Amino acid sequence: MNVTKSGYRVFSANSSAACTELAKQITERLGVELGKSVVYQESNRETRVDVKESVRGQTIFIIQTIPRDVNTAIMELLVMAYALKTSCAKNIIGVIPYFPYSKQCKMRKRGSIVCKLLASMLAKAGLTHIITMDLHQKEIQGFFSFPVDNLRASPFLLQYIQEEIPDYRNAIIVAKSPSAAKRAQSYAERLRLGLAVIHGEAQCAESDMADGRHSPPCVRNTSGHPGLELPFTVLPSCIISASATDSSLNEVMMAKEKPPITVVGDVGGRIAIIIDDIIDDVEDFIAAADILKERGAYKIYIMATHGLLSADAPRLIEESAIDEVVVTNTVPHEVQKLQCPKIKTVDVSMILAEAIRRIHNGESMAYLFRNITVDD
């Protein structure tokens, strides 16, 4: 049975054994047992949760790591939170080291802000607090109607650089894109190293693409009321009329061309350390490694908090110019490590366990954010 005198209980919401490893490490550091529960998928893929012990009046921490099957993991968390809520748990705190759908935190085209939807679902299911790590955008915390503690993995990654990378004083911190420059700068300042920025990409997955809502109509709209005439858009240099030709429209609406990929900063004869928060599809990282090699970097490291490493990422990394990929254990990736020896893991269970202890005891969380910069 979980330690009663501790006053709180820790459960894992994962049905996969590989995903419960982080929960076991956290409970070992806390000196408590993992709560007794059964999480499984029925034959029709419905999620079922059975809590095997009383939680009435208790503070409950649910540890949920996110495997490749993201949607199943979300349903497991929602169902377990609701089961604990209906079992009269006092507080239900979710420990979600990697928060899913965090990249979908802005309106894109005619899509939706899925991260906001997920925040609302978690609140409705019964969660009263969340502990997470390195949200893709800090503004995501504003989506929640309850407290969010956004921990940082940078102290662990900085320690790895200092202890495991030989001659790290000859290294240079590299931002994969201008949008990642602030995070890279925070690492460079604490390590007292130089900074380089890779500018220009063949394709940016999160860029604002041409959107029909912001484009003038190519032809007059005839599907509405026959008496309704919509005004045409006035462009800076000309007015498009109904008689405008397709060629002139194409010339006016031509998208901006991206500059060729280049490196701002001297990486010649240096160890290049690329800093980012998530490494999922690795094509951009491989392209960055290739250009850094061309510019004279003799070793390429990639440091990221969340190693999703989807699809063929392990094989592509193994065949690339990248020397090592260092990620934390916020996401299970043991299978990927077997496929690619270049992938290394940094354990962050210590800071997650300390966050649980401090929240339960009502202690300040400021200690966990010491030496953390605003841009980290």
Residue 194 lies in a domain: yes
First-to-last alpha carbon distance for the chain, in angstroms, is 39
Residues 186 and 311 in one domain: yes
Residue 337 lies in a domain: yes
Q: What is the pLDDT of residue 227?
A: 53
Please enumerate in sequence order all residues whose Cβ is within 8 A of that of 338, keeping only pairs 6 or more positions apart, or say none.
Answer: none
Tokens of 291: 């250009």
Residues 88 and 182 in one domain: no
For residues 323 and 286, the answer to whether their CB atoms sit within 8 Å is no
Residues 100 and 189 in one domain: no
Give the DSSP letter string of 179-230.
GGHHHHHHHHHHHT-EEEEEE--S--TTS----GGGS--SS---SS-TT--P
- The one-letter amino acid code at 299 reads K
Residue 371 lies in a domain: no
Domain range for 328: 155-202+261-346
Residue 187 lies in a domain: yes
Query: Would you put residue 212 in left (φ > 0), alpha (ψ -120 to 50) or beta?
Result: alpha
Residues 310 and 187 in one domain: yes
Residue 20 lies in a domain: yes
Tokens of 302: 């990639």
Tokens of 218: 């190519």
Cβ neighbours, 10 Å, residue 308: 23
Rounded to the nearest 10 degrees, how much is the dihedral formed by the CA atoms of 147, 153, 154, 155? 100
- The tally of domains found in the chain comes to 2
The span from the CA of 320 to the CA of 281, in Å, is: 13
Residues 172 and 318 in one domain: yes
Residue 107 lies in a domain: yes
Residue 85 lies in a domain: yes
Residues 134 and 175 in one domain: no
Residues 132 and 46 in one domain: yes
Give the DSSP letter string of 129-182.
EEEEES-SSGGGGGG-SS-EEEE--HHHHHHHHHHHSTTGGGEEEEESSGGGHH
Residue 213 lies in a domain: no
For residues 85 and 57, the answer to whether their CB atoms sit within 8 Å is no
Residues 179 and 117 in one domain: no
What is the three-class DSSP state of 251?
A: helix
CATH number of the domain within which 115 lies: 3.40.50.2020
Residues 161 and 138 in one domain: no
Residues 171 and 108 in one domain: no
Nearest to 85 by CA among 119, 57, 104: 57
Q: What is the pLDDT of residue 275?
A: 96
Q: What is the pLDDT of residue 257?
A: 66
DSSP type of residue 33: P
Give CA 42 to chain center in angstroms: 29
Q: What is the pLDDT of residue 14?
A: 86
For residues 62 and 32, the answer to whether their CB atoms sit within 8 Å is no
Q: What is the mean pLDDT of each run of 10 residues along the chain (376 residues)?
A: 66 86 95 94 93 95 92 95 96 96 87 93 97 93 95 96 95 93 94 93 48 46 52 50 51 62 93 96 94 96 95 94 96 93 96 96 92 82
For residues 159 and 136, the answer to whether their CB atoms sit within 8 Å is no
Q: What is the pLDDT of residue 256?
A: 60
Residues 168 and 302 in one domain: yes
Residues 142 and 23 in one domain: yes
Nearest to 216 by CA among 232, 203, 230, 202: 232
